[in-house]
Structure formats: C-alpha cells, structure tokens
Amino acid sequence: MPNPQYRANDDGYFGEFGGAELPPFLVEPIAEVRDAYAEARQDPTFMGEYERLLRTYVGRPSLLYFAENLTAKLGGAKVYLKREDLNHTGAHKINHCLGEALLAKRMGKTKLIAETGAGQHGVALATAAALTGLECEIHMGAIDVAKQHPNVVRMELLGAKVVAVEEGGRSLKEAVDSAFATYAAKYHEYFFAIGSVVGPHPYPSMVRDFQSIIGREARAQILEAEGRLPNALVAAVGGGSNAMGLFDAFLNDREVEIFGVEPAGEGLEGTRHAATMTLGTPGTLHGMKTIVLQDEQGEPSPVHSIASGLDYPGVGPQHSHLKTLGRVTYVSVDDNETLDAFSTLSRTEGIIPALESSHAIAYTCKLAPTLSSDDIVIANLSGRGDKDVDFVAERLAARRS
Ligand SMILES: *Cc1c(COP(=O)(O)O)cnc(C)c1O
C-alpha cells in the first residue's frame, strides 16, 4: 500500500487536485458510484472475479520482456518492456474496462455508457460489455465517427450502439456532453465508464486501482529476473491510466526514478502539442481540479499529438499531485522522435508499438544511454501499433521525400 501522501483523501483530493467538481444533476449519480466502489473494493468475491477474468480472458500476467537488441543498440541501461500490448484487445484499457463493467453489474445497471474520441476506449468497453452481458452505448463526435471508421465497425460488431453526435464542433467535447446528458437522465439504468484516471472522484482512484495490476506484476517480475528493483520507470501520459498503473506499486521505492512522457507534438512553442504538465496551469476540467492546458477564460486549449490517445488538455489529478511532490518527473517527446522510436522498436525487436506507447520508447531511447550497463529501465508498452501502421507508413514516406 503506497504511502498515504500519494493517495486521495475521503473527498477524492490528492493534495489540491482531484475532488468531484460537478453540476448539481451529476452529484447523486456519481455519489452512487463512489459508494458502490468503496464497498466493492473491500469485497473479496468482487476482486476475485475481476482477477480471474484478468487471467482467463485478458491473458495476464503480461510479460516483462528484456529487450536485449534495443539495449545493445542504445548502449546503456538494460531495457525491459512491460507488454500490455499482448493483452486481449491489444492494450491496457481492457484492465479497467472489465473492472468498471463488473462494478456496473454489481450495482444492478444494464447499460454501459461512455464517450470516445479515437475509439480505443469505446472498443475496450464494448468488449467488456459483450463479455459481461451488458448493453453498451458509445457517444462519438460525428467527425470522429467518419475518421475512425474501423473502430466504429469494431464496436458495432461487438454489439455496442454508436451514437454520432452532430452538435457544435461534432468532436470529443460534444460527445462528452452528450454522453453525460443521457447518463444523468437515466442513471438508474446506466453506468458511466470513464476511460482513464480522470474525471470526478472516485474515477481517478478506481481506474488506477484496476490498472495497478501492471506495476504489481512488473515489480514481482523484475525482482524475479534481476533480484533488484529498476532504476527508472517510463510511461506515456495521456489521461494517465497506463502510467499510474505501472507507477503505483513503486511509489514507495524512493530509489526508483519515475518518468511520465507527454506529447510535445509539433513543438512546445505553438499550440500543436498536448504537454499539459510542461505548460499547463491549475484549473478545473471534467469534474476534477487538475493541471490543464487552458486559455485566460479557463477554456481548455485545442491540443495535438500524433498519438490520438494522448491528445487530452488535462491529466489525472494524481499525476498533478505527484508532479507537485516531485515524485514523478514529467518530460515530453515530439512527433518526430515518436516516429523514430516506432521504427526503432519495430526493427530491433520485431515489436510494433502503438504511437502512444512509442512516446515512452522515445524517452527510453534518450534515457538509457545516460545510465550504466548495471542500471535497469522498465518502459510500459501500453499497446500494439497495428492500428497505426498505415498512418505511420505514410508519415515516414512523407519524411523521406
Ligand atoms: C488510450 C491509450 C493511451 C493513453 O491513455 P492513458 O490513460 O494515458 O494510459 C496510451 N496507450 C495506449 C495504447 C492507449 O490506447
């Protein structure tokens, strides 16, 4: 159990960040989730069923792989990869989607509802819904429905209903509003499933708990393989769930340096990035106090990353707190460094990483050569890159010409 200073208090505050900053119509539905989760997490039957599905359905434990070729190429610390890409559905998101689906069932709900941008959360949630026998409704901006066609097809094949939102900018922001409006009106039937360690209490703590299996496994696996803890951990940070999942079990190990990697996109000078920790300021977003990229009026800024799963103008409140405490160091890599890392890992190890995960690999490629060959770095390979191959091939060809 990590030191209490790293945890939320009873009101969901990590230091000054977090909480449940909600419009009146959401107070009661979210309080119901808070109370149900507080009970469920103490119930060995509930946690036992969750852990059973992680083994039998997701395929856990995921490998901790010693990337010997990459290590030799970088010439420094030994690099290990935590292979969340090998999970069923190809990424870490299934870990918390299954937990949320089981909690919804326990609460007597019949439907899962969520918004999705690029569709990765929607697909993982639709998968969990199919397995647990729940209905699933995914709200998506009409522009994203057109752009992310393969994921829309996947969600529908899995039995989910995809609602194309035609309001306003027809993008993620409108999809969030639309999903919350439906939820508030019918929360006796619906469970709102958030896709990262963001949103109002209890979601940042609950999603972290469901993802913390990553770090618990990695810690045991590295002790088994090397007889010691790593010198550093590296994970990409969008909302921050794969990162919190890896970091949580190591927070008390002060000798382990921890790095969260954000997208610097096309550079930190303009607006074409999503480097929330580097350039954001304290604010309120999606029901939580956290660090936000925002304008003077407190409106979230438009963001960009080559990895659609990382383009979020906020970050989970526990990350904001860990930054304030100085326990985690937040760094950024840009789109070009990310593309290089994508190619490097594909060619040296025969592993095609997601563009999100490629941010963690890119920083690992900078960090490992600065350390000695006795040192160890664990990077979280949050997902596989099959979804990105056409896009990356185009970008690499454009770069060559
Ligand atoms: C969604 C996603 C991310 C970013 O989300 P976090 O909550 O920051 O983990 C990272 N990697 C992959 C593969 C994803 O699908």
Q: What is the mean pLDDT of residues 54-80?
A: 98
What's at 315, amino acid-wise?
A: V
Residue 309: closest CA among 344, 247, 263: 263
Q: What is the mean pLDDT of residues 110-120?
A: 95
* C-beta of 380 in contact with ligand 1 (< 6 A): no
Q: What is the mean pLDDT of residues 142-165?
A: 95
Token duo for residue 377: 């770095």
Residue 81: closest CA among 397, 348, 321: 348
User: How far is the C-alpha of 94 from the C-alpha of 60, rounded, in Å?
Assistant: 11
* C-beta of 123 in contact with ligand 1 (< 6 A): no
Residue 3 has pLDDT above 90, yes or no: no
pLDDT of residue 171: 86
Which atom number of ligand 1 is nearest to the Cα of residue 245? 9
pLDDT of residue 358: 98
Which atom number of ligand 1 is nearest to the Cα of residue 354? 13
| Number of other CB atoms surrounding residue 68 within 10 Å | 12
User: How far is the C-alpha of 199 from the C-alpha of 257, rounded, in Å?
Assistant: 27
Q: Which of helix, strand or coil describes residue 396?
A: helix
Q: What is the DSSP track for 22-42?
A: --HHHHHHHHHHHHHHHHHTT
CA of 356 to the centre of ligand 1 (A): 6
pLDDT of residue 16: 98
Residue 148: closest CA among 168, 129, 127, 162: 162
Token duo for residue 202: 């209890």
12-54+93-207 CATH pick, 3.30.980.20, 3.40.50.1100, 2.40.320.10, 3.40.630.30: 3.40.50.1100
pLDDT of residue 262: 98
Q: Which of helix, strand or coil describes residue 166?
A: coil
Q: What is the pLDDT of residues 326-350, one digit of tens each?
A: 999 999 999 999 999 999 999 999 9
Residue 387 has pLDDT above 80, yes or no: yes
User: How far is the C-alpha of 242 from the C-alpha of 237, rounded, in Å?
Assistant: 8
pLDDT of residue 369: 98
pLDDT of residue 54: 98
| Number of other CB atoms surrounding residue 107 within 10 Å | 16
Token duo for residue 151: 């994921």
pLDDT of residue 310: 94
60-90+213-400 architecture in CATH? 3-Layer(aba) Sandwich (3.40)
CA of 240 to the centre of ligand 1 (A): 7
Residue 221 has pLDDT above 80, yes or no: yes
Active site residues: 93, 115, 382
Mutate to test the pocket of ligand 1, among 151, 214, 242 (most ligand atoms within 8 A of CB): 242
Q: Which of helix, strand or coil describes residue 140?
A: strand
The domain spans of the chain are: 12-54+93-207, 60-90+213-400
* C-beta of 338 in contact with ligand 1 (< 6 A): no
CA of 374 to the centre of ligand 1 (A): 30
| Number of other CB atoms surrounding residue 399 within 10 Å | 10
**pLDDT tier at 367, thresholds 50, 70, 90:** very high
* C-beta of 236 in contact with ligand 1 (< 6 A): yes
What are the Cα distances from residue 211, in Å, to 79, 246, 294, 392? 22, 8, 28, 28
Q: What is the mean pLDDT of residues 165-171?
A: 91
pLDDT of residue 173: 86
Which atom number of ligand 1 is nearest to the Cα of residue 124? 15
| Number of other CB atoms surrounding residue 386 within 10 Å | 11
Residue 1 has pLDDT above 80, yes or no: no
User: How far is the C-alpha of 202 from the C-alpha of 154, rounded, in Å?
Assistant: 29
* C-beta of 361 in contact with ligand 1 (< 6 A): no
CA of 77 to the centre of ligand 1 (A): 25
User: How far is the C-alpha of 246 from the C-alpha of 345, rounded, in Å?
Assistant: 20
Phi and psi at residue 307, to the nearest 5°? -105, 110
| Number of other CB atoms surrounding residue 266 within 10 Å | 16
User: How far is the C-alpha of 35 from the C-alpha of 49, rounded, in Å?
Assistant: 19
CA of 166 to the centre of ligand 1 (A): 26
Q: What is the pLDDT of residues 281-307, one digit of tens each?
A: 999 999 999 999 999 999 999 999 999
User: How far is the C-alpha of 243 from the C-alpha of 260, rounded, in Å?
Assistant: 7
* C-beta of 120 in contact with ligand 1 (< 6 A): yes
CB 192 within 8 A of CB 116: no
Q: What is the mean pLDDT of residues 155-184?
A: 94
The mean predicted confidence, pLDDT, of the chain is 97
* C-beta of 383 in contact with ligand 1 (< 6 A): yes
CB 379 within 8 A of CB 219: no
* C-beta of 240 in contact with ligand 1 (< 6 A): yes
Domains 12-54+93-207 and 60-90+213-400 agree in fold? yes
Q: What is the mean pLDDT of residues 131-140?
A: 98
Which atom number of ligand 1 is nearest to the Cα of residue 197? 7
